Chain A
Amino acid sequence: MNRFAALLDRLAFEHARNAKLRQMADYFRTTPDPERGWALAALTGALSFRHAKPGLIRALVAERVDPVLFGLSYDYVGDLSETVALLWPEGPSPRAGAEKAQNAPRLSEVIKALATLGKAELPGQLSRWLDALDETGRWALLKLVTGGLRIGVSARLAKTAVAALGDKDPDEIELVWPALEPPYVDLFAWVEGRADRPAVRDPAPFRPVMLAHAIEEAELAALSPADYIAEWKWDGIRVQAVAGRRADGAPVARLYSRTGEDISKSFPDLVAALTLPGAIDGELLIVRDGRVQSFHVLQQRLNRKSVTPNLLAEFPAHLRAYDLLADGEEDLRALPFAERRKRLKAFVSRLAQPRVDLSPCVPFSTWSELMAARADPAAAGAGADAEAIEGVMLKRRDAAYLPGRPKGWWWKWKRDPFTVDAVLMYAQRGHGKRSSFYSDYTFGLWTDGENGDELVPVGKAYFGFTDEELLQIDRFVRRNTVNRFGPVREVVHERDQGLVLEIAFEGLQRSNRHRSGVAMRFPRIARLRWDKPPREADRLETLERLLPPDA
């Protein structure tokens, strides 16, 4: 447990993805089975046990520490688990590290005990563990038992670290993952070359997805329209819907994210509609009364922790199918796209589920026709669904379904982003390589205030600029700071003094969390407008006109 705790402690401070990978890979390489497997389970969220309540932890510490000293300490530290970990009495020989390490519980013991312990036994067991662990161990234990393990590592990242142990592709891990269970001894044996690949007995496996490259208008001239089929690019989430039968004949259906995470639990309504064995690649959307809703509406369903009947009724999940990877037991991925598309059409009509439909093709014979359709999807056949369209997809008729992002087969041609000219108001230092640079920017638009026009913050952007532009903005921030709040600098933003940023964004929604009442999707810096005085920047009303009527 102490080693796992040390890993969590390091991960919690590390910002860079590659550094996190290196930390995890180092841990997996140097930690024996089954401990590392349980750690992998904890990192990938594969553990389930009833979490301890903060009240229980407080009660434990109250038996050991003066309440006044506890209060002063908690005020100072600000986090209950950490305060208790730091305060927990170390016993008679406080710094006898070696002897103590021998008594420290292993992660596997802790996890097994948590799964079986009764409620009445938990406090006693918890305090015995706390007595035996070091500070970092106590902190990690308390985070684990209270369910507050937030260290910025996704399941995918943890699997990628495992793949790095044996030069495997993370997608290969995803393929076998559904067949595995903690503590993953067979997985590590395979990755380290000591055993064969674990048998995939999973009747509804994930297949690595095929991704598209972005394309610009100018690049189209080199391509022949006749080679391609065009579809709308839907603004939902990419999913893979797989159904099959177990050895005993029982049906299995699963919904995967594009990285292979099983998200079936969040969409039982859609999973129930997957009644034909096969694997569909498509877009998950919310459809109400036959109309596709905007991404903003979909987000309201995504952000919920528990799936309630109300939620299911209010946000019905829908699958818009655009590819078929398997039909029954037959793997279709080697077929040309035009062929798969025919099979898909037949599959969807056989399935006959109202929640699953075919993503329509966009007919065109020249690039300018397609350009017109992309500019106005509503008029080009998408009708009222146009709001959920963010461009068009181009797929070569002869393209096999290739995992990853192979060049030359699939293209995404996104709708032009919205832009607005905003004024830089605050800047904050970034992390990692950018740690000395002011690289996170809060920008604002003009609105009517009590004393005439004032700027109201509308968003934050931290990418879109070149390295050279970053240097320029950083210099501007350092020379034009009017106020400091911890790591944040307030930058001059007067009518005639300040920096105007052209902000590009993908969409807009109402938000109660922002003072301006709006929130942008994907805001980024498109250009620096050194030429423009702040008074000529846009007004909040301009932005509000872009809000969809239903949002």
Chain B
Amino acid sequence: MRPEDLLCPTPQGLCCPAGDFFIDPLRPVERALVTHGHSDHARAGHGAVLATAETLDIMRLRCGEDCAGTMQAAAYGETVEINGVRITFHPAGHILGAAQICVEWKGLRMVVSGDYKTAPDPTCAAFAPVPCDVFITEATFGLPVFRFGDARAETAKLLHSVALFPDRAHLVGCYPLGKAQRMIALLREAGYDRPIFLHGAMEALTRYYAARGLDIGALRPAREARRDELAGAVTICPPSALQELWARRFPDPVSVFASGWMRVRARARQRGIALPLVISDHADWEGLTATIAATGASEVWVTHGEEDGLVRWCEMRGLRARPLRLVGYGEEEDEEEDQGAAAENGAAAAP
């Protein structure tokens, strides 16, 4: 049996004909397995969705209670059978509820990584590689220039800047789901105990993380803060808000952006970022390559990102590798930002 008989790439996403389901489908389908709650992976309108309980909660929060016909929760490590295909969710370490999905059928084991990272993150369950025959990996940062250091050192940079510029507001651009909450956790872990101000787009999701046990300390909506309170304080907002009208209410703001893209200086410069923080929820080059090795897979498929670099690495090690070139993933930046802007503008409409 070829791996393509178990999972095959289609324009709608990865399809499992034997189980009659799709994984992270890009368009509405009858039955979907969803790796995590980012909008490019978790879309509304499917007939039935199987995902972790957290991912389902996040989908309801973002797309409404009726965003899917039926929802079924899968716990990490628990095996569910659909039409004879055995399915197990494993932690992906990407955001709260993120999972790798292992699909087994007739002795063939394939793992779909979804988005993942191997670096520690107090806001979600830790990633662990899953042994398999075929590993289907993301490659957002699939070039050897992407090597992310310790997120705590990046957080220290932010705190140093806050100490150095006590009269300036620090606006930290973070994707509203995952990065924002991790940034808060990193600040708290570093001993920062002052209130952190939040853009409206982060509020509901951050409350959800707190309800799931994350220690977030004192948070306040930025829109209710006086200008002088924002000086010397940290405010977390969607990256797009850094350059929008919203940012004008802040005193002499320092634009900060926490993202793996900040590894490349030109990326930070293009966005007018004064303080880039290399903090990513994706695996870096070493994370990607070490994971491929740890799965023991003899064949690797690359879903999205910088496929060419990772495929080259596999070939150099004698692994079969193919880029799937699925169109539609990795756009979370744009979509998350649109959602973010809408949330705050709605919230800000009330004086």
A residues neighboring B (CB under 8 Å): 10, 12-15, 19, 22-23, 26, 65-66, 68-69, 72-73, 76-79, 82-83, 86-87, 90, 94-95, 97, 134-135, 429, 431-433, 435-436, 486-487
Identify 17 residue pairs between A and B in the complex whose beta-carbon atoms are under 8 Å apart, listed by A's number.
A13-B269, A13-B275, A14-B274, A22-B164, A69-B143, A69-B309, A73-B143, A73-B309, A76-B145, A77-B266, A78-B266, A82-B264, A83-B145, A86-B146, A435-B253, A435-B255, A436-B244
Chain B 273-310 interface residues, beta-carbon cutoff 8 Å to A = 273-276, 286, 306, 308-309
Verify if B247 is at the interface (C-beta below 8 Å from A).
yes
Q: Determine the distance from Cα of A314 to Cα of B253 in the docked complex, in whole angstroms.
A: 49
Q: Are B150 and A72 in contact (CB under 8 A)?
A: no
Q: Determine the distance from Cα of A82 to Cα of B309 in the docked complex, in whole angstroms.
A: 18
Q: Determine the distance from Cα of A87 to Cα of B146 in the docked complex, in whole angstroms.
A: 8
Verify if B208 is at the interface (C-beta below 8 Å from A).
no
Q: Are B308 and A435 in contact (CB under 8 A)?
A: no
Whether A76 contacts B264 in the complex (CB less than 8 A), given A15-B274, A66-B316, A69-B143, comes out as yes
Chain B residues near A486: list those with CB within 8 A: 270
Chain B 233-270 interface residues, beta-carbon cutoff 8 Å to A = 242-245, 247-248, 252-255, 263-266, 268-270
- Report the minimum CB–CB distance from A317 to chain B (whole Å): 37
Whether A13 contacts B145 in the complex (CB less than 8 A), given A435-B247, A436-B247, comes out as no
Q: Are B243 and A72 in contact (CB under 8 A)?
A: no
Chain A residues near B268: list those with CB within 8 A: 13
Q: Counting chain B CB atoms within 10 Å of each CB, which of A13, A66, A97 scores highest?
A: A13
Chain B residues near A436: list those with CB within 8 A: 243-245, 247-248
Q: Determine the distance from Cα of A192 to Cα of B35 in the docked complex, in whole angstroms.
A: 59
Chain A residues near B312: list those with CB within 8 A: 66, 68-69, 72
8 Å CB contact of A97 from B150, B263, B275: B150
Q: How many A-B residue pairs have CB under 8 A?
A: 87
Chain A residues near B254: list those with CB within 8 A: 19
- Report the minimum CB–CB distance from A104 to chain B (whole Å): 15
8 Å CB contact of A86 from B145, B253, B313: B145
Chain B residues near A73: list those with CB within 8 A: 143-145, 309
8 Å CB contact of A77 from B255, B264, B269, B275: B264
Which A-chain residue is minimally distant from B246 (CB atoms)?
A: A436
Q: Which 5 A-B pairs have the closest CB atoms?
A: A86-B145, A73-B145, A436-B247, A13-B274, A73-B143
Chain A residues near B244: list those with CB within 8 A: 436
Verify if B60 is at the interface (C-beta below 8 Å from A).
no
- Report the minimum CB–CB distance from B123 to chain A (whole Å): 21
Q: Determine the distance from Cα of A87 to Cα of B263 in the docked complex, in whole angstroms.
A: 12
Q: Are B165 and A22 in contact (CB under 8 A)?
A: yes
**What 18 additional pairs, Cβ within 8 angstroms, besides A66-B312, A69-B312, A435-B253?**
A13-B269, A13-B273, A13-B276, A19-B165, A65-B144, A72-B143, A72-B306, A77-B145, A79-B265, A82-B265, A86-B144, A86-B263, A86-B264, A87-B145, A97-B153, A135-B147, A429-B272, A486-B270
- Report the minimum CB–CB distance from A430 to chain B (whole Å): 9
B residues neighboring A (CB under 8 Å): 143-147, 149-150, 153, 164-165, 242-245, 247-248, 252-255, 263-266, 268-270, 272-276, 286, 306, 308-309, 312-313, 316
Q: Determine the distance from Cα of A35 to Cα of B219 in the docked complex, in whole angstroms.
A: 41
Which A-chain residue is minimally distant from B253 (CB atoms)?
A: A435
- Report the minimum CB–CB distance from A152 to chain B (whole Å): 12
Which B-chain residue is minimally distant from A97 (CB atoms)?
A: B150
Q: Are A23 and B164 in contact (CB under 8 A)?
A: yes
Q: Determine the distance from Cα of A487 to Cα of B269 in the docked complex, in whole angstroms.
A: 11
- Report the minimum CB–CB distance from B262 to chain A (whole Å): 10
Q: Determine the distance from Cα of A73 to Cα of B243 in the docked complex, in whole angstroms.
A: 29
Q: Counting chain B CB atoms within 10 Å of each CB, which of A72, A433, A436 scores highest?
A: A436
Which B-chain residue is minimally distant from A15 (CB atoms)?
A: B274
8 Å CB contact of B149 from A26, A65, A95: A95
Chain A residues near B165: list those with CB within 8 A: 19, 22
Q: Determine the distance from Cα of A82 to Cα of B312 in the docked complex, in whole angstroms.
A: 22
Chain B residues near A72: list those with CB within 8 A: 143, 306, 308-309, 312
- Report the minimum CB–CB distance from A21 to chain B (whole Å): 11
Chain A residues near B253: list those with CB within 8 A: 435
Which B-chain residue is minimally distant from A25 (CB atoms)?
A: B164
Q: Determine the distance from Cα of A433 to Cα of B164 in the docked complex, in whole angstroms.
A: 17
Which B-chain residue is minimally distant from A6 (CB atoms)?
A: B157
Chain A residues near B286: list those with CB within 8 A: 94
Chain A residues near B269: list those with CB within 8 A: 13
- Report the minimum CB–CB distance from A78 to chain B (whole Å): 6
- Report the minimum CB–CB distance from A121 to chain B (whole Å): 28
Q: Are B306 and A76 in contact (CB under 8 A)?
A: yes
Which B-chain residue is minimally distant from A74 (CB atoms)?
A: B145
Chain B residues near A77: list those with CB within 8 A: 145, 264, 266
Q: Are B149 and A487 in contact (CB under 8 A)?
A: no
Q: Are A12 and B243 in contact (CB under 8 A)?
A: no
Q: Determine the distance from Cα of A433 to Cα of B144 in the docked complex, in whole angstroms.
A: 36
Q: Are A26 and B264 in contact (CB under 8 A)?
A: no
- Report the minimum CB–CB distance from B259 to chain A (whole Å): 14
Q: Are B270 and A487 in contact (CB under 8 A)?
A: yes
Which A-chain residue is minimally distant from B153 (CB atoms)?
A: A97
Chain B residues near A433: list those with CB within 8 A: 252
Q: Determine the distance from Cα of A487 to Cα of B271 in the docked complex, in whole angstroms.
A: 8
Q: Are B274 and A79 in contact (CB under 8 A)?
A: no
Chain A residues near B147: list those with CB within 8 A: 86, 90, 94, 135
